[in-house]
Amino acid sequence: MKIGSWMRLGSTAVLLVGAGGAVCVAQMPGQGITVSKENRTIAITATDSVTTMADVATVHVGFVVYAVDHDSAYASGSKVSNAVVGALKAAGVPSDAIESENQNLAEVQQYQMNQLSAEEKAKRKWMLAQNWNVRTNAADAARVLDLAVKAGANQSGAIDWSLKDENKPQAEAAGKALQRARVVADEMARGLNVKLGVLIFASNETQAAPIRPVMQRMDKAMPMAAAVPPLAINARQIEKTATVYAVFAIE
């Protein structure tokens, strides 16, 4: 039996043409699949995953400074801002790996100072905050964070872990899922006393993007001695999951 197939990208349906010109429509999971004597099939949904160590780190660094007035807050913030970026560049971090996330110069609202003493309130009438995303190799994440914190980045700590090549592990996961689908389909075919035929159709659902972690915040600058070693930070393992919907012919 010669079977042809046609698939339109972005559609949930696949048109299958069987022997004698008979036509049936195979739909995605949840919508059912139409079968006939001319087009006998087994449909399987299978999930598998691949775990690999992250090789890219996006380190979130930033700072907040307070001052008695607008100009003083800007001056203090400018000093810390240039110190942080200068320390990173001096250590060999490329300029295009340092991305500005946000910066804000504003008057501190009264409710934000409810727990402060009168003396502290007088010193915290204005504030300037700035944040960056620094992309680096996973092995250098601790060093980048250490450099930024010691240069004055007192609002730092969150790290996003990722892969230079996101496609390879995703493809491996899809391949494992498809192999699992074929094994299950073969077992079903033997239980029905038929022979499993060729793969007619397969689709792959990728996993959702991970939720970005919330940035750590430290309101007060902590003086750091140059001799203090970097934090002990290890890269995370990243799991790529694929769900495959496969339709096999049976003979």
pTM: 0.71
Q: What is the mean pLDDT of residues 58-83?
A: 97
Q: What is the mean pLDDT of residues 52-69?
A: 97
The reported pLDDT for the residue numbered 37 is 58
What CATH number does residue 64 fall under? 3.30.70.2970
For the chain, what percent of residues have pLDDT higher than 70?
76
pLDDT band at 134 (very low <50, low <70, confident <90, very high): very high
The reported pLDDT for the residue numbered 121 is 85
The reported pLDDT for the residue numbered 156 is 96
Q: Which among 227, 70, 101, 77 has a CA at the least distance from the CA of 153?
A: 77
Give the end-to-end CA distance of the chain in Å, rounded to a whole number.
Answer: 9
Flag whether pLDDT at 75 surpasses 90: yes
* One domain, residues 92 and 189: no
* One domain, residues 108 and 127: yes
| Strand ranges across the sheet with 23-27 | 4-7, 13-17, 23-27
Question: Range of 169's domain?
Answer: 4-52+165-208+241-250
- Tell me the average pLDDT of the chain: 82
The reported pLDDT for the residue numbered 154 is 97
The reported pLDDT for the residue numbered 171 is 94
* One domain, residues 83 and 36: no
Say how many C-beta atoms besides its own lie within 10 A of residue 2's C-beta.
Answer: 6
Flag whether pLDDT at 165 surpasses 90: yes
* One domain, residues 86 and 114: yes
DSSP 70-94: HHHHHHHHHHHHHHHHHHHHHTT--
pLDDT band at 12 (very low <50, low <70, confident <90, very high): very low
* One domain, residues 189 and 227: no
* One domain, residues 111 and 224: yes
pLDDT digits (tens, 9 = 90+) for 94-111: 999 999 999 999 999 888
SS3 215: coil
φ, ψ of residue 148 in degrees (nearest 5): -65, -45
* One domain, residues 41 and 154: no
pLDDT band at 120 (very low <50, low <70, confident <90, very high): confident
Number of domains in the chain: 2
* One domain, residues 66 and 145: yes
Say how many C-beta atoms besides its own lie within 10 A of residue 201's C-beta.
Answer: 19
* One domain, residues 137 and 177: no
pLDDT band at 17 (very low <50, low <70, confident <90, very high): very low
Flag whether pLDDT at 11 surpasses 90: no
pLDDT digits (tens, 9 = 90+) for 180-239: 999 999 999 999 999 999 999 999 876 654 544 433 333 443 444 457 899 999 999 999
* One domain, residues 85 and 185: no
Q: Which tokens is 32 given?
A: 């059912």
The helix (H) or strand (E) run that includes residue 8 is none
Flag whether pLDDT at 115 surpasses 50: yes
Rounded CA separation 91/98 (Å): 13
The reported pLDDT for the residue numbered 69 is 96
* One domain, residues 178 and 103: no
* One domain, residues 136 and 44: no
Is residue 219 classed exposed, middle or buried when 0-12, 13-18 and 19+ CB atoms within 10 A define those classes? Answer: exposed
